Amino acid sequence: MTRHVLLVARSVTHHGGHDAVHRLAATVGAARGVPVRACFLDGAEPSLHAALDTAVAEAAGDVLLVPAHLPPDRYLDTWIRRAIAHWRQTRGDDLPIAVTAPLAGQPALADAVAQAIAGAHAPLTGNPGPFRSPSWSQITRHRRHVLVCRGPRCTAYGAGDVAAALGDRLAEHRLGDDDVLVTATGCLFPCNLGPLVVVHPDDTWYTGVDPHTAVRIADEHLRDGRPVDDRPSRPAG
């Protein structure tokens, strides 16, 4: 059986950052000749839970986790351990799993920076106009603002599939940012009730959302203006 390596990162603010982690995993895997995949603790796919499920499905002998976030992040280190404990509890699997020192603390990182300084470089030029483009001063005319929690627990519970189902259904209804502005967020706090979807200004919290419920939210609440009667949960007080 083969060791599987997982580069575990946190979400970044742009999709290109996620792609870069996947490319790094592919490059390392090709160089080492072992399965190496990228996964994310929060905010992006695949989640750490999903990556571990894949390792089990592919009969991995053991899994080695490499915390890949730069700079060093104690949050990542802490939540990797919590996520692994939750995965073991919910899957009932005893797959051997170990973790390396964070990538940010590896001595070779300093060598890589030194090589970059000594290597080729180019002068920077550019047009400052887009930095203050008038289009970035326009607030969308959205009627509703939808928050989809992508914190580590909601991500482990399947928030990625929820976000995808919601976005696809809104696209089918041709509801864009001027109608419904959807924002992925960090932790919204009632984590045990996740995945969470919150609709404002209606102050409606949907708990335990799955892709089927996400489609109902898009159809009934965001298109037709009627909260899903059997699902809303409002804050106490």
Q: Could you tell me the CATH number of the domain that includes residue 27?
A: 3.40.50.1400
Instruction: Render each residue's pLDDT in the chain as its tens digit; 237 residues.
Output: 799 999 999 887 666 788 999 999 999 999 999 999 999 999 999 999 999 999 999 999 999 999 988 777 888 889 999 999 999 999 999 999 999 999 888 889 889 889 988 999 999 888 887 778 887 788 888 999 999 999 999 999 999 999 999 999 999 999 999 899 999 999 999 999 999 999 999 999 999 999 999 999 999 999 999 999 887 676 655
Alpha-carbon gap, residue 47 to 6, rounded angstroms: 11
**So what's the pLDDT on residue 96?**
97
Which CATH number fits the domain that encloses residue 194?
3.40.30.10
Measured from the Cβ of residue 211, the count of other Cβ atoms closer than 10 Å reads 18
User: What local confidence, expressed as pLDDT, does residue 234 receive?
Assistant: 66
Q: Are residues 85 and 155 in the same domain?
A: no
Q: Please check whether residues 176 and 225 belong to one and the same domain.
A: yes
Radius of gyration of the chain (CA): 21
d(CA 207, CA 191): 9
Do 145 and 101 belong together in one domain? no
Per the structure, the complete domain to which residue 151 belongs is given by 138-232
Close Cβ partners of 73 (under 8 Å, ≥ 6 residues apart): 10, 67, 102, 104
Domain boundary, last residue among 59, 88, 106: 106
- Domain annotation covers residue 97: yes
Q: Are residues 75 and 147 in the same domain?
A: no
Predicted local confidence at residue 135, as pLDDT: 76
Same domain? 8 vs 99: yes
- Please report whether residue 53 resides in a domain: yes
Final residue of a structural domain among 86, 106, 126? 106
The tally of domains found in the chain comes to 2
